[in-house]
A and B are shown apart, each in its own frame.
Chain A
Amino acid sequence: MTADVAPGEMQIDSIVKDDVLLRKSARGDEEAFTQLYRRHQAPLFRFALRMAGNRWAAEEIVQDVFMTLMRDPRKFDVERGTLGGYLYGIARNRIMKHQERLPRELPLELEVEDGNSALARLSEEKTPAQWAELQQRREMVREAVMELPMEFREAIVLCELEEMSYEQAATALECPIGTIRSRLHRGRALLLAKLEILRDAPKRVSAGR
């Protein structure tokens, strides 16, 4: 997993390995813990956001992941995999619990930090009708992704939305590449099938007129 540093934030010494930072953190080194947090929070947050469907839940999930790491750092075994994979594993469990407890409340948010819609930026290049159509189509895609079973959604989120390689996705989910391939294949098929139905429905309606 690559280091992820937000611009303007603390410089992270990429040479320092996660397990070294974790050991320091376990001994009470706050800076080491902060480095770990800054290194892993963004990809975890995006994963949680795309899996859970809303920012509030994603923040809760990722905060919970780091609280778990803080309280019991010795549960991570460097022999068994990467810290990133370990954190993704905790995040997946929290996402599953969250979805059992709270059914999806809001669709995947379009709002970005500055409060403007990302799609709104595209509207400058398109007519209102095109923009509305695009927005509707992406909304359908979002809905279809969110309705995928957990394991297929994970593969789609990591490989298509996050654009990770199969190897990276396999590392994150701590499973073989073959499993990622097969989940992705099934996920794509389910998405295509679902969107075919959704896309055909308006066509049929318009054909009937």
Chain B
Amino acid sequence: MTCEEFEIAGLDLGGTAGNSAQEQEAREHLRECARCSALHDNWQLLRDDLHAIGAETRDAEMSGRVELRLRQEFRTQHKTVKMRRAAVITSWGLAAAAVLVVTVSWTNWQHAKRNGFDKNFGVAVAGSQKVAPEAKNTANDETVSVDETLVASNDGGEFTLLPGDVPGTLENGAVVQVRMQRGALGAFGLAVNEERAADWIQVDLLVGEDGHPEAVRFPRSAN
């Protein structure tokens, strides 16, 4: 065994490393080489010191408060995780509920809107009809005649605003066909030919959202 080999393997003599053949060679070299013998002695002295230093702290442990702190941190962390998970689940639940509520509300609103539309037309089941856009336009165009004395047109086909009505509120009105005596038109503020006041006539009343008649039309068939 050379001095270099001894430095690598021989310092562990009696230690944990090396097989027996290698140890024999190292011991032989140790007897023969004064330099390596001195090195070995120095190392053994140093090793004793190292072991003694190691022994001083062999039983050293973490203080108990660190364990307590770590356990506290562990509880906090897992509680936080659980709470965060619960919060996420709750928020998703709330979001889903909100979407559901909005969807149901929108569907109901649409349904109600359609029902309202049908109701408007429902009056016409007894002979009503939807206000024609041109009829509305005509009614709107008759603003000028509001202040004039109105005469129920006999040969109209167009709506005539009743006195006191404001044009432009007829958008959602419904047309109601009514059979009445001509003289009853006077109750709407219309001038009536007294000679024919007892005649039964068919009129279309344009009824506003508030249920009050707002315009009147004499269908050609009623003439």
Contact = CB atoms under 8 A, between A and B. Distances in A.
Most buried by A among B7, B8, B42, B74: B74
Contact of B16 (A42, A62, A166, A192): A166
Nearest to B39: A192
Most buried by B among A28, A62, A113, A162: A28
Interface stretch (B51-59, B99-107, B161-169, B183-191): B51-59
A188 B43 contact: yes
Nearest to A25: B74
Contact of B62 (A59, A67, A145, A166): A59
Nearest to A109: B57
Given A30-B74, A62-B66, A66-B70, A161 B60 contact: no
B70 A70 contact: yes
Most buried by B among A145, A160, A181: A160
A112 B59 CA distance: 9
A195 B39 CA distance: 12
Interface string A98-127: 000000000011101100001100000000
B114 interface: no
Interface string A48-92: 011000010001001100110011000000000000000000000
Contacts of A110: 56
A173 to B, nearest CB: 16
Interface string A132-165: 0000011001100100000000001000111101
Given A6-B61, A62-B62, A30 B55 contact: no
Contacts, number: 108
A41 B62 contact: yes
A97 interface: no
B56 to A, nearest CB: 4
A192 B71 contact: no
B64 to A, nearest CB: 10
Contacts of B56: 110, 112, 118-119
A46 B74 CA distance: 23
A138 B60 contact: no
Contacts of A33: 70-71, 74
B53 A138 contact: yes
Contact of A118 (B42, B43, B50, B55): B55
A185 interface: yes
A195 B69 contact: no
A192 B43 contact: yes
A147 to B, nearest CB: 14
A49 B60 contact: yes
Nearest to A30: B74
Given A33-B74, A42-B61, A145 B50 contact: yes
Interface of A: 6, 25, 28, 30, 33-34, 37-38, 41-42, 45-46, 49-50, 55, 59, 62-63, 66-67, 70-71, 108-110, 112-113, 118-119, 137-138, 141-142, 145, 156, 160-163, 165-166, 181, 185, 188-189, 191-192, 195-196
Given A165-B16, A188-B46, 17 more contacts: A41-B61, A50-B54, A62-B62, A62-B66, A63-B70, A70-B70, A71-B77, A109-B57, A112-B57, A118-B56, A138-B53, A141-B53, A161-B54, A181-B8, A191-B46, A192-B46, A195-B42
